[in-house]
Amino acid sequence: MVSDTLTIDELGRVAGMTVRTIRSHQANGLLPPPEVRRRTGYYSDEHVARLRVIRELQDEGFNLRGIRRLLERAPGPAEQLLDLKHALTSPLDAEDPEVLTEDDLRARFGAEVGARSLAHAVKLGLLVPLTSGRFEAPSPSLLQAAEEVMARGVPLHAALSLVERVQRQCESASRAFVRLFMEHVLGPYENAGSPQGEWPDVIAAIESLRPLASDVLLTLFGRTMAREVEATFGRELQRRAKGRR
């Protein structure tokens, strides 16, 4: 905690920003003005948190105009926006990324690995291009799953197409869960005037979103998969039985 005793130079050192950048953020409405005492402006913890939010959102690819809109619509202080962002984006089961060369990928996935399949994998986020022809796999477990599927006779292009279809369906389900929590958890909190004492409960509810959604999706997938397998094999048995007549 720094209270409200930071000059702009001290704020720059704490936040890791230049004074020029801080003044620019202030001029553009991203940073509230300091408290002026005897012609000197003093900044507080809220200013430090606000600058950290701006930097994190910039790192995520947001432009300054979009960041300003987010800050204007935030339900409370900047620290709460950071809490909300971390609750929504922190990984459930963090994996250590794996770095692979094109030769490594070809050794694992066969001769199908080429410019087209690599571009498809990059588009899907399965691979991230690095320098010197290397690739980072953010989720090695997905690559291993693809490898095991291919070992059972599924070609690479079909596996990638399946990942793309499933990814689109997961995005749709994810949007539905997020809308549910925004409407029934964050919405009532904002409508109540964003009481500070209730913010930890909001964050706890948001943090439970993804594990709950994961459990629901896994359960429903297991049930629907069982029904689909039963129906498909039932039709196949009927077809074969008819073929023997």
The DSSP line for 33-102 is PPEEETTEEEB-HHHHHHHHHHHHHHHTT--HHHHHHHHHH-SS-HHHHHHHHHHHHS-SS----EEEEH
Domain annotation covers residue 214 = yes
H-run or E-run covering 135 = strand 134-137
Evaluate whether residue 209 is within a structural domain. yes
- The answer as to whether 173 is a domain residue is yes
pLDDT for residue 1? 47
Instruction: Name, in order, each residue with C-beta under 8 angstroms of 34's C-beta and a sequence gap of 6 or more.
Output: 8, 41, 42, 43, 47
Within-domain flag for 50: yes
Write down which residue in 65, 89, 113 finishes a domain: 89
User: Taking the complete model, does pTM exceed 0.75, yes or no?
Assistant: no
- Which of 89, 116, 151 marks a domain boundary? 89
**With contact defined as beta carbons under 8 Å apart, do 43 and 18 qualify?**
no
> What contacts 216, CB < 8 A, 6 or more positions away?
none
What is the domain count for the chain?
2
* Assigned domain for 70 exists: yes
Residue 128 within any structural domain of the chain: no
CATH code assigned at 67: 1.10.1660.10
Which domain, by its residues, includes 205? 162-243
Burial class (CB in 10 A: 0-12, 13-18, 19+), 139: middle
Indicate whether 105 belongs to any domain: no
- Give dist(CA 175, CA 173) in Å, integer: 5
Question: Cα 25 to chain center, whole Å?
Answer: 26
Domain boundary among 54, 70, 89: 89
Give the pLDDT of the chain (245 residues) as one tens digit per residue: 445 688 999 999 998 999 999 999 999 888 989 988 888 899 988 898 889 888 888 887 778 887 887 777 665 666 676 677 677 666 666 678 999 999 999 999 988 899 999 999 999 999 999 988 899 999 999 889 888 999 899 999 999 999 999 999 988 888 888 888 888 888 888 888 878 788 888 888 888 887 888 899 889 989 998 998 888 888 877 877 776 65
Q: Position 84: which residue type?
A: L
**What does DSSP assign to residue 32?**
P
**Residues 209, 212, 215, CA angle at the centre, nearest 5°?**
145
Q: Where is 210: in which H helix or E strand?
A: helix 209-243
Q: For residue 72, is it within any domain?
A: yes
